[in-house]
Amino acid sequence: MTLSRHIATAVAFSAALLTAGVASAAPEVGKAAPGFTGTDTAGKTWSLAELKGKPVILEWTNHDCPYVVKHYESGNMQALQREATEAGYVWLSVISSAPGKQGHVSGEQAEELTETRNAAPTAVLLDGEGSIGKAYGARTTPHMFVIDQDGTLAYMGGIDDKATTKLADVEGSENYVRLAMADLASGQPVANAVTRPYGCSVKY
């Protein structure tokens, strides 16, 4: 290989590393939440910029994941969705499973899941290309993010402190999302602003 080709290869490799670093930059609590634009099951476009002035909750989900099943079969996720939307939150469930991977669904299938599970998100975003998930560094299903009305990331992490698939563990668990909403409602900083997410890996 000639010297010029060595240099070209090295430059390309460095550029790839730099691009990867930018793409994987983790969101930070207390700073502006990563912007995104996504399409829901009805074909409507949602963007974080257009939601400024409203608090937002992002929920990464995969209906085949046993950790997600735990929170839906127990009714825990649905109750939290209703509680949040009644408090003025926009709740966006995000499906980042890639085509051919576990949890990937069409818009029609996602709407059927919402109906049969009696779920109550504001909308379900189809993120099969993973752009929203990667912008947020979403690692698990569920993985939860709370954004305040100014567009600042206020909480990110697990839904609660019981990292199991047991339905019985929902009762008595410390629900970090509910606590974050309570702190924001009282005008206080979120006490547990970053926790460890648990669940199945997001199927990018």
What's the mean pLDDT in 173-201? Answer: 97
Residue spans per domain, the chain: 30-201
Is the bond into 34 cis (omega within 30 degrees of 0)? no
Tens digits of residue pLDDT in 10-28? 333 333 333 333 344 689 9
pTM for the whole structure: 0.88
Query: Fold for domain 30-201?
Result: Glutaredoxin (3.40.30)
Structure tokens that stand for 175 in this block: 């629900």
Q: What pLDDT, on the 0 to 100 scale, is given for residue 103?
A: 98
What's the mean pLDDT in 178-191? Answer: 97
Tens digits of residue pLDDT in 82-110? 999 999 999 999 999 999 999 999 999 99
Q: What contacts 95, CB < 8 A, 6 or more positions away?
A: 60, 61, 62, 103, 104, 105, 110, 124, 125, 126, 127, 128
